[in-house]
Chains A and B, each alone.
Chain A
Amino acid sequence: MSDSNIIPKWLSVGVIPLMNLFLAFCVSGLFIFFIGENPFRAIFVMIKGAFYYPGAIGYTLYYTTNFIFTGLAVALAFHARLFNIGGEGQAYVGGLGVGLVCLIFDQHVVGFLVTILAILGSVIFGAIWGIIPGYLQAKRGSHIVITTIMFNFIAAALMVYLLVNVIIEPGQMSPETRDFASDVGLVQIHILAKYLGLEMAMSPLNLSFIVALTVSVGFWFLVWRTKFGYEVRSLGHSETAAIYAGIKVSSTIIIVMAISGGLAGLVAINELLGVHNKLLLGFTAGYGFTGIAVALMGRNHPVGIFLASLLFGALYQGGTELDFEFSSITREMVLLIQGLIILFSGALAYMLNPLVERIYLKYYGNYNNA
């Protein structure tokens, strides 16, 4: 994750990600062209689907919320040079936290309080799912990539077991819990707007979005303004220097993974408290994995992560529209486009660097060699 020293920041943070995005769209356009559709029209439909139709922006921001949470989760771990692939599982288990709190308390305690507890539950359960791989990495040297991947599978299996056998609503087939009490949950923005006398199209966008923005500010503060953040970044850049500075490597790793898991767990409040109002199978839908691309593209900075989340939110929402509008563009085609964007802005994020460096040096190199 080393930033190039040669080219200035506006190029590496601004121009290169845009070029990557452009490349991804070009290749996507080629695919759309090959299946006999007009790529320009497709893009037009996609943008309209994401931002123009009534409620479209709401949907886009609702997806954005999930990506902010998982993106921040991955980014925090990145700052300590840990590759947390387990956002998916941590979000899933975070959902268990929400579900358990709601199912246990919602009949006895006032809804507002249950909601607060449920949010805490999502963070704590997600954190636990991060702490275990963190501990194994710090104390036993088990590679975090392997363990977090494994923990995704364990989480999935655990949730299937619980939802099919234990907390399923009695007397029905689908693996879901009963609905939470109606006074529990995070209010949706369009309902809130109605109270304020504003007319907004219906969308699943809810207060979690505000939580996500608040958490983003908190993330920036934690990483760049606290002692702990300083220690995390020292460790991420140079473990030897961190040891020299008296930073406890193993406990830092464990705490980072706890916070990272907790951030991923927050996906559950958007999905369960904000939309579904019950715990159900597979609600994480890959948000945890996409968070990796979001963090990569957002350069592990909350502002970048917000922008990358917005992009992926728009892709999800616009992609649905694409699927709907074109008979030949199926759901799989939309996934392909998303995959290409992840490929170009994530895996191939540094592909264009040498080229840009060379061009930059050719024109500005002489002035910069002080």
Chain B
Amino acid sequence: MKNTENKGGNEAIASLPPSTESAIELKNITKRFGHVVANSHVNLKVRTGTIHGIVGENGAGKSTLMNILFGLYKPDSGMIFLNGQAVDVNSPEKSIALGIGMVHQHFMLVPTFTVLENAMLGNEGSMLLRSGEEVVLDRLKGLSNNYGLDVDFEAIISDTPVGMQQRVEILKALNRGAKILILDEPTGVLTPQETIGLFDILRSLREQGVTIILITHKLKEIMSITDTVSVMRGGKVVADFSTEKTSPEELAENMVGRKVLLSIKKPTLKVGKPVLEVKNVSHESKDGVLVLKNISFDLKEGEILGIAGVAGNGQSELLDILSGIETLQRGQITVNDKTILPFQDWNSKKAREFGVAHVPEDRHKRGLVLPFHNYENSILGYHRNEDYSSGFLMDKRKILNFVDDLVENFDVRPRSSSISSGKLSGGNQQKLVLAREIESNPNILLVGQPTRGVDIGAIERIYEDLMKLKSKGTAILLVSVELDEIMSLSDRIVVMNQGTIVGETNSSNATELDLGKMMSGLEQV
């Protein structure tokens, strides 16, 4: 809780009557999904007519909090005050009626409707469409001129650029009478020029007294447009700042957080020849955004290369390409002296044949088939292997023998081959995935977020296993948003920001401050 401007004041504030100048005040909001606590005792206060930023990594609880404010989720406990009045926001309709508008990360527009039809949705002006359109068009034109929300009312949404679609979303919210505007990752799909345009709009909205909450993980944007900022991590607001009194480094530190440093014995080992070479790899996402730009690095035998960066800066896409899940679009990859060129036949099966094992970032989506039993998951991706099968058939007895050893050697609890993996705790699921990939005897291991959602005990075990693998000479590529993890495990660290490698350093002379600066994209080393 250090760096908290109103540190220690959280409890004090809770007992005071809400100040009338705050547009929004959230008090002690807690929201659980099953056993997962998405928001834990969150307090948030936003003054009227300001732009308030909320930063935090994926899964920090930002979106959950905003969905609570917008009435999509009901909090388990806590209160919401609007302009000093306690309100019960139990549905989006209610929240709209209270003057809250939300622009979602993925736009909620009808692609086959015109801009006008979309913008008037929810406040059509009249029972009859034609006369309603006239009324609304007048109003929208006024709003559009006032705030520089430049749109073509006649155009069909699917033909318009994303920047305009976003302006339509904002218009839609204003047309419904929004005085408080929530924007969830608004710049994720925008070009730099469109981003500048959006920020101009936001500034003019602020001048007219609209309160804006901006959710993002891009620190530059926070610095350039917000008045105040809150940092979320692990479902909590860990710090509040006035923007002019903070720095991106400080924000980055708070976002990533410091964990108890586990003591890790790094085996000293002479690194061997390079086994993975990545040259000029670029990648365009399905939305046409360039998510990787000219990435080049190599990875040697017996080395752990850490890739640091705030989540969402291209690391996931890089892992997907290296592991064969995504097609290589541009550049070249050399794996154990075999070269992969763009649009060549490159898939996960082939990657495994080339000796690349992969512990995916999202074990629920990728690493495991949750309803499967442990023994079935223990061979996922290796089920074609002759060790577990003969011809068409799977050899259940061999698989059971294998999984029994696996759960024993890697301490997966409970030691059961037949429990469905979805019932294991996060740490044990991760141990199972890691065990499977290590047991395949890879000479390159790709690891994404090895300790996300994993308890301390399991973390220690996972680190040990990685070190053991390294001392066998396996090359390990470690992608993590936990700075400590990167620093204590890696031999070498590269830092990614907005799809490029912005710096490289040896872990022995890296400091958190340097890395933080690079991660925020402010400094290239």
Query: A: which residues have CB within 8 A of B?
Result: 2-3, 5, 225-228, 230-231, 233-234, 237-238, 240-248
- The interface residues of chain B lying within 8 Å CB-to-CB of A238 are 365, 369-370
Q: By the criterion CB–CB under 8 Å, are B347 and A246 in contact?
A: yes
B368, B371, B394: the one within 8 Å of A226 (CB): B394
A240 and B350 alpha carbons, distance in the complex (Å):
17
Known: A240-B366, A241-B366. A226 touches B347 (CB 8 A): no
Known contacts: A225-B394, A244-B348, A246-B347. The answer to whether A234 contacts B372 by CB under 8 A is yes
Selected A-B contacts with CB under 8 Å, 28 pairs: A5-B422, A5-B423, A225-B394, A225-B396, A226-B393, A227-B383, A227-B384, A230-B383, A234-B369, A234-B380, A237-B370, A237-B371, A238-B365, A238-B369, A241-B365, A241-B380, A243-B348, A243-B366, A244-B325, A244-B348, A244-B360, A244-B380, A245-B381, A246-B347, A246-B350, A246-B351, A246-B381, A247-B349
Instruction: Give Cα A56 to B350, complex, Å.
Output: 57
In addition to A2-B371, A225-B396, A237-B372, 17 A-B residue pairs with Cβ atoms within 8 Å of each other are: A225-B394, A226-B394, A227-B384, A227-B394, A228-B392, A233-B372, A234-B372, A234-B380, A237-B369, A237-B371, A238-B365, A241-B367, A244-B360, A244-B367, A246-B349, A246-B351, A246-B381
* Closest A residue to B384 using CB positions: A227
Does B32 touch A at the CB level, under 8 Å? no
The B321-336 residues at the A interface (CB cut-off 8 A) are 323-325
CB nearest neighbor in B for A238: B369
Residue of A nearest to B390 (CB): A227
Contact B389 A227 (CB under 8 A): yes
Q: How far is the CA of A215 from the CA of B257 in the complex (A)?
A: 58
Closest chain A residue to B352, Cβ basis: A246
B217 CB within 8 Å of chain A: no
Chain A residues contacting B369 (CB-CB under 8 Å) are 233-234, 237-238, 241-242
A230 touches B381 (CB 8 A): no
Specify which chain B residues have a CB less than 8 angstroms from the CB of A228 in the assembled complex.
Answer: 392
How far, in angstroms, from A244 to B347 measured CA to CA in the complex? 9
B376 interface residue (CB < 8 Å to A): yes
Collect the chain B residues with CB atoms within 8 Å of residue A245's CB: 348, 380-381, 383
Whether B376 lies near A230 (C-beta < 8 A) is yes
Of B365, B384, B423, which one neighbours A240 at CB under 8 angstroms?
Answer: B365
Main secondary structure of the interface of A (DSSP, over half): helix
Interface centre among A226, A234, A241 (most CB of B within 10 A): A241
Contact of B383 among A231, A243, A244 (CB under 8 A): A231
Would A243 and B325 count as touching, CB distance under 8 A?
Answer: yes
Report the nearest A residue to B422, measured CB to CB. Answer: A5
Verify if B358 is at the interface (C-beta below 8 Å from A). yes
Q: How far, in angstroms, from A5 to B370 measured CA to CA in the complex?
A: 12
Could you tell me the distance between the alpha carbons of A70 and B64 in the complex, rounded to whole angstroms? 45
- For the complex of A and B, the 7 pairs showing the least CB-CB separation, nearest first, are A246-B349, A246-B348, A245-B381, A244-B366, A240-B365, A237-B369, A241-B369
Nearest residue (CB) in B for A229 is: B394
A241: chain B residues within 8 A (beta carbon):
365-369, 380
* B393 contact set on A, CB distance < 8 A: 225-227
Bound complex: CA of A2 vs CA of B370, how far in Å?
Answer: 11
Query: In the bound complex, how far is the Cα of B351 from the Cα of A280, in angstroms?
Result: 53
Q: For residue A137, give the distance in angstroms from its CB to the closest CB of chain B.
A: 20
Name the residue of chain A whose CB is nearest to the CB of B382.
A245
Closest B residue to A226 by beta carbon equals: B392
Shortest B432–chain A CB gap in Å is 13
Across the two chains, which residue of chain A brings its CB closest to B358?
A244
Bound-state CA distance A246–B348 (Å) is 4
Q: Tell me the minimal C-beta distance from B506 to chain A in angstroms.
A: 32
Residues in B neighbouring A237, C-beta threshold 8 A:
369-372
Cα distance A227–B384 in the bound complex, in angstroms? 7
B199 shortest CB reach to chain A, Å = 35
Minimal Cβ-Cβ distance residue in A for B360? A244
Chain B residues positioned under 8 Å from A227 (CB to CB): 383-384, 389, 392-394
A233 cross-chain contacts in B, Cβ below 8 A: 369, 372
Task: List residues of chain A with CB within 8 A of the CB of B365.
Answer: 238, 240-241
Complex contacts, A242 vs chain B, CB 8 Å: 369
B366 — which chain A residues lie within 8 A by C-beta?
240-241, 243-244
Shortest Cβ distance from residue B274 to the other chain A in the assembled complex, whole angstroms: 25
Report the separation of the CA atoms of residues A226 and B388 in the bound assembly, to the nearest whole angstrom: 11
Complex Cα distance A237/B323, Å? Answer: 21
Cα of A5 to Cα of B393 in the assembled complex, Å = 29
CA distance A369 to B423 in the complex (A): 12
Contact digits for B381-414, partner A, Cβ 8 Å, 1 yes 0 no: 1011000010011101000000000000000000
> Does A244 lie within 8 Å of B381, measured CB to CB?
yes
**Per-position binary interface string of chain B over residues 334-357, scored 1 when its CB falls under 8 Å from any chain A CB and 0 otherwise:** 000000000000011111100000
Q: Which of B360, B362, B393 has the most CB of A within 10 A?
A: B393
CB distance from A95 to the nearest CB of B (A): 30
Nearest B-chain residue to A235, judged by Cβ: B369
B367, B369, B392, B393 interface centre (most CB from chain A within 10 Å) = B369
A2–B396 CA distance with the chains assembled, in angstroms? 24
Measured between alpha carbons, how far is A227 from B381 in the docked complex, in Å?
Answer: 11
Q: Which of A2, A5, A240 has the most CB of B within 10 A?
A: A240
Closest to B420 in A: A5
Contacts of B347 in A (CB 8 A): 246, 248
Residues of B within 8 A of A246 (CB): 324, 347-352, 381
What residue of chain A has the Cβ atom nearest to residue B363's Cβ? A241
A241 and B367 CA atoms in complex are apart in Å by: 6
In the complex, A5 Cα to B371 Cα: how many Å?
10
Which B residues lie within 8 Å of A225 (CB)?
Answer: 393-394, 396
| A230 and B394 within 8 A (CB) | yes
CB of B311, distance to nearest CB on chain A (Å): 18
Docked complex Cα distance between A226 and B395 (Å): 9
How far is B362's CA from A241's CA once the two chains are assembled, in angstroms?
10
When distances are taken between beta carbons in the complex, the residues of chain A under 8 Å from B368 are: 241
Q: How far is the CA of A227 from the CA of B368 in the complex (A)?
A: 17
CA distance A228 to B351 in the complex (A): 20
Provide the bound-state CA to CA distance between A237 and B349, in Å.
19
Shortest distance from the beta carbon of B346 to any chain A beta carbon, whole Å: 11
Residues of A within 8 A of B325 (CB): 243-244
Q: What residues on B are CB-neighbors of A231 within 8 Å?
A: 383
Say how far B317's CB is from chain A's closest CB, in angstroms: 15
B490 smallest CB distance to A (angstroms): 24
Q: CB-CB < 8 A to B389: which residues of A?
A: 227
Contacts of B360 on A, CB cut-off 8 Å?
244
Instruction: List residues of chain A with CB within 8 A of the CB of B352.
Output: 246
Query: Closest residue to B351 on the A side, CB-wise?
Result: A246
Q: Which residue of B lies closest to A228 (CB)?
A: B392
User: How near does chain A come to B318, taking the closest CB pair, in angstroms?
Assistant: 16
